[in-house]
Chain A
Amino acid sequence: MVPLSYYLVLSGILFTCGVLGFLIKRNIITIFMSIELMLNGVNLSFVAFAAHWQALSGQVFVFFVMVVAAAETAVGLAIIIAVFRTRATLNVDHVNLLKL
């Protein structure tokens, strides 16, 4: 059996990748994917703990996160398309109309 700590380390690596991608990348699609990566990194630690403690609530919570992520993706992609139509770019640094 794979020890719990392996899962957690992988989960941490995934989350950190997500954070770094979110901070560094300029392409809005990539940023979006980075967010998904962070969510899934957390999901991994949820299911790992659920398996380790033999408790279902972790699994349930993962489903809940997935639902929220799906909803978020739907809204987020719609926004991205709208932004691309008006600004003809996906670079977030160029989407700065509200900035002082």
Chain B
Amino acid sequence: MTLHLWLIPVLPLIGAAINGLLGRRFSRQNVAAVALGFCGAAFVCALYVAARFSSPSVPYIEHLAPWIRAGNFHADFSFYLDQLSLVMLLVVTGVGFLIHIYSVGYMWEEGGFYRFFSYLNLFMFFMLTLVLASNYLVMFIGWEGVGLASYLLIGFWFTKDSAASAGKKAFIVNRIGDFGFLIALFLMIKHFGSLNFGQVFQSVSGMEVEKSGAGLLTSIGLLLMVGAAGKSAQIPLYVWLPDAMEGPTPVSALIHAATMVTAGVYMVARSHVIFERAPIALMVVAIIGTLTALFAATIGIAQTDIKKVLAYSTISQLGYMFMACGVAAFSAAIFHLMTHAFFKGLLFLAAGSVIHAVGGEQDMRRMGGLRQYIPWTFWTMTAATFAIAGFPPFAGFFSKDEILWRASRVSLVYWGIGLFTAFLTSFYMFRLWFLTFFGEYRGGGGAAQEPAATHGGHAHEMHGHSGIHESPRVMLVPLVILAVLSVLGGWVGVPGSLGGSNRFDKFLSPVFHSTIPPRQSEGMPPEERTEGAEPAAGRSQELLYTAISVGAAAFGLYLAWLLYRRRPELPARIAQRLGRVYDAVANKYYVDQLYAILFVKPVVEGSKEILWHGIDQNIIDGAVNDSAYNARHVSDAVRHMQSGNIRSYAGWIAAGAAAVIAYMVWLGVR
């Protein structure tokens, strides 16, 4: 069975190369055709692979070429396909292709059209390399590559200062995480002598569960989590993601919501064999995920920029996924990753459509009443909002509920915080929904022209036509497809308690089956392997939990309706009443400022005072200047020897000869 996996990442790479090298001369139609053609071909390949993939319990490995061979250490270019990478493959190529289509409409008026699509295809290449890698090193190529693509695309409007610095911020914060990831890789090389998934996991399978204290696996797990926290924007490295919204909206949808930021979740899930044996690392994952989910959701409540709300919502949802990983519910994490890719991608695309409609405005306080102007956007966004809020039967309901249920089996604290976060999620999403689509339009007549200058819509100001307008069909088709997926996507994983059989979980089970022998598995939730044979009591309990979480979502909807539809004057009064608490939330808890004081300022000052003035100017420049200075002084002293006077030279020669003779005589006498 040859699946030609290599085609899937290479096709977008070819597209990126063509557009990047020649795109400047192409017409927009040709650029779009190349980008869509190669991305679509990758999607078709992925579908072909999915059709041929016969769900064996052993992963399919495709060996391409040797890369690093040093002694016993081998790291080759090879691809790895199992159920987990297949799901990621379909999500990345599918959602990625839809967003490519959308981008054609969204970016049509922008300068640098070919550059945008070249970057976008490049991103696809690296993301697919990441999910298809068969060893951690190839994964790391993809990992760094998506970071690069993310940097390029965040700073796409690089003439704008805020976009350029947001790109830098994302890049630098990601480096911190990558540092942890790299050290984890070095530890693996040192102790397992390999980075291949197969060999590493086999070595790890032979090891004991590290119940107490920190051992090798715990360190590797924690370091991998540092990497994942950087890429997937978890506490404490989440700060780059909200700023990343400076990029074009399709980029926010593709990279900073649907695919790249989930790479951390994928990596943790891929390394589940390691994490299962490191309960402490797993607990840290769960705690970070839970805290991030709550923390980001509270910030999301007070944001007024429509994309910032979605950004914090993304961070919060990623927190859910890490919570799921942390309670060893890896398939639930991947399930949520998939549904999240659908509905959050859709939310961003719809938000882009809204921004497009109102001429570059991003501030929700200047929107409102858009429902009748842009019905398609409204209805698709509604589907996504209900999906993320967790209303049945939308996609987000099943995945989020599975996470909450599995979390509750480990600790009710996780469940409680997760539930509260679900309520917050529902609240801020419906807040966005009501503010944007209901009530009166607050933008005013000049909104289509005036705010573009201040709000980063950049070239939208060139649209010229006033008035709110629906997006072109090329943007609406992806919205509709993603809306259908947001509604139906969850049905692949209907849990047992609702009469389904959770096919998604079963599909992934060959990947995530526990590799710990049963006698050691007390630390694991006992439901792990007895999902199907769950007693009726557990089932009704699960139903109860489900009902509670739906209730929380409904309460969020009600509260948002009350505050932003029925009594719109209330939020301001509440904000005033809360005073400093509200200020703290609205200013994102001053985390950016705190980081600036704690990390940025010491680095900048230290670089300036110690590295620049101290080391560079004094030591390095000083050494060069001093050697020149000394050479001059020595020369000053000895230049008198060179008088140009023949006889003084002859004298030196005679003296030298005398010295040589004296030395030889001395040698002879001795």
Q: Does B538 have its Cβ within 8 Å of any Cβ on chain A?
A: no
Contact (Cβ within 8 A) B644 A92: no
Contact (Cβ within 8 A) A23 B647: yes
Q: How far is the CA of A98 from the CA of B654 in the complex (A)?
A: 23
Q: How far is the CA of A99 from the CA of B643 in the complex (A)?
A: 8
Find B650's partner among A22, A98, A100 (CB 8 Å cutoff).
Answer: A22
> Which residues in chain B, 335-377, are within 8 Å of chain A measured between CB atoms?
none
Q: How far is the CA of A22 from the CA of B650 in the complex (A)?
A: 8
Provide the B634-670 mask, 1 if CB < 8 A to any CB of A, else 0: 0000000001111100110010000000000000000
Contact (Cβ within 8 A) B651 A98: no
Contact (Cβ within 8 A) A92 B646: yes
Q: How far is the CA of A98 from the CA of B645 in the complex (A)?
A: 10
Tell me which residues across on chain B come within 8 A of A22, comparing CB atoms: 647, 650
Shortest Cβ gap from A46 to chain B (Å)? 18
Shortest Cβ gap from B404 to chain A (Å)? 93
Tell me which residues across on chain B come within 8 A of A96, comparing CB atoms: 644
Tell me which residues across on chain A come within 8 A of B645, comparing CB atoms: 99
Q: How far is the CA of A96 from the CA of B644 in the complex (A)?
A: 8
Shortest Cβ gap from B651 to chain A (Å)? 5
Shortest Cβ gap from A50 to chain B (Å)? 22
> Which residues in chain A, 56-100, are within 8 Å of chain B measured between CB atoms?
92, 96, 98-100
Q: How far is the CA of A19 from the CA of B653 in the complex (A)?
A: 10
Contact (Cβ within 8 A) A19 B644: no
From B646, which residue of chain A is reached at the shortest CB distance? A92
Tell me which residues across on chain A come within 8 A of B643, comparing CB atoms: 99
Q: How far is the CA of A22 from the CA of B646 in the complex (A)?
A: 10
Interface size on A, residues (CB 8 A): 9
Q: How far is the CA of A100 from the CA of B646 in the complex (A)?
A: 13
Provide the A18-31 mask, 1 if CB < 8 A to any CB of B, else 0: 01001110000000
Contact (Cβ within 8 A) B644 A98: yes
Q: How far is the CA of A100 from the CA of B651 in the complex (A)?
A: 20
Q: Which residue of A22, A96, A98 has the most chain B CB atoms within 10 A of its CB atom?
A: A22
Shortest Cβ gap from A48 to chain B (Å)? 18
Shortest Cβ gap from B646 to chain A (Å)? 7
> Which residues in chain A, 32-66, are within 8 Å of chain B measured between CB atoms?
none
Tell me which residues across on chain B come within 8 A of A98, comparing CB atoms: 644
Shortest Cβ gap from A13 to chain B (Å)? 15
Tell me which residues across on chain B come within 8 A of A92, comparing CB atoms: 646-647
Tell me which residues across on chain B come within 8 A of A19, comparing CB atoms: 650, 654
Q: How far is the CA of A88 from the CA of B645 in the complex (A)?
A: 20
- With contacts A19-B654, A23-B654 taken as known, whether A100 is within 8 angstroms of B644 at the C-beta atoms is yes
Shortest Cβ gap from B287 to chain A (Å)? 81
Tell me which residues across on chain A come within 8 A of B650, comparing CB atoms: 19, 22-23
Tell me which residues across on chain A come within 8 A of B646, comparing CB atoms: 92
Provide the B55-67 mask, 1 if CB < 8 A to any CB of A, else 0: 0000000000000
- With contacts A19-B654, A23-B654 taken as known, whether A99 is within 8 angstroms of B644 at the C-beta atoms is yes
From A16, which residue of chain B is reached at the shortest CB distance? B654
Shortest Cβ gap from B644 to chain A (Å)? 4
Contact (Cβ within 8 A) B644 A23: no
Shortest Cβ gap from B388 to chain A (Å)? 87
Shortest Cβ gap from B525 to chain A (Å)? 94
Q: How far is the CA of A98 from the CA of B644 in the complex (A)?
A: 8
Q: Which residue of A19, A96, A100 has the most chain B CB atoms within 10 A of its CB atom?
A: A19
Tell me which residues across on chain A come within 8 A of B651, comparing CB atoms: 23
> Which residues in chain B, 606-656, are within 8 Å of chain A measured between CB atoms?
643-647, 650-651, 654
Q: How far is the CA of A100 from the CA of B644 in the complex (A)?
A: 7
Shortest Cβ gap from B236 to chain A (Å)? 70
Q: How far is the CA of A96 from the CA of B651 in the complex (A)?
A: 18
Shortest Cβ gap from B661 to chain A (Å)? 10
Q: How far is the CA of A24 from the CA of B654 in the complex (A)?
A: 13
Q: How far is the CA of A99 from the CA of B645 in the complex (A)?
A: 8
Shortest Cβ gap from A66 to chain B (Å)? 23
From B642, which residue of chain A is reached at the shortest CB distance? A100
From A26, which residue of chain B is reached at the shortest CB distance? B647
Shortest Cβ gap from B52 to chain A (Å)? 88
Provide the B97-128 mask, 1 if CB < 8 A to any CB of A, else 0: 00000000000000000000000000000000
Tell me which residues across on chain B come within 8 A of A99, comparing CB atoms: 643-645
From A22, which residue of chain B is reached at the shortest CB distance? B650
Q: How far is the CA of A1 from the CA of B643 in the complex (A)?
A: 48
Shortest Cβ gap from B637 to chain A (Å)? 17
From B647, which residue of chain A is reached at the shortest CB distance? A23
From A31, which residue of chain B is reached at the shortest CB distance? B647
Tell me which residues across on chain B come within 8 A of A24, comparing CB atoms: 647
Q: How far is the CA of A61 from the CA of B644 in the complex (A)?
A: 33
From A96, which residue of chain B is reached at the shortest CB distance? B644
From B648, which residue of chain A is reached at the shortest CB distance? A23
Tell me which residues across on chain B come within 8 A of A23, comparing CB atoms: 647, 650-651, 654
> Which residues in chain A, 5-24, are within 8 Å of chain B measured between CB atoms?
19, 22-24
Interface residues in chain A, defined as those with a beta carbon under 8 Å from any beta carbon in chain B: 19, 22-24, 92, 96, 98-100
A-B contact pairs, 9 of them (CB 8 A): A19-B650, A22-B647, A23-B647, A23-B650, A23-B654, A24-B647, A92-B646, A96-B644, A98-B644
Q: Which 9 A-B pairs have the closest CB atoms?
A: A99-B644, A23-B651, A19-B654, A23-B647, A23-B650, A22-B650, A100-B644, A23-B654, A92-B646
Further contacts, 14 of them, CB under 8 A, given A19-B654, A23-B654, A98-B644: A19-B650, A22-B647, A22-B650, A23-B647, A23-B650, A23-B651, A24-B647, A92-B646, A92-B647, A96-B644, A99-B643, A99-B644, A99-B645, A100-B644
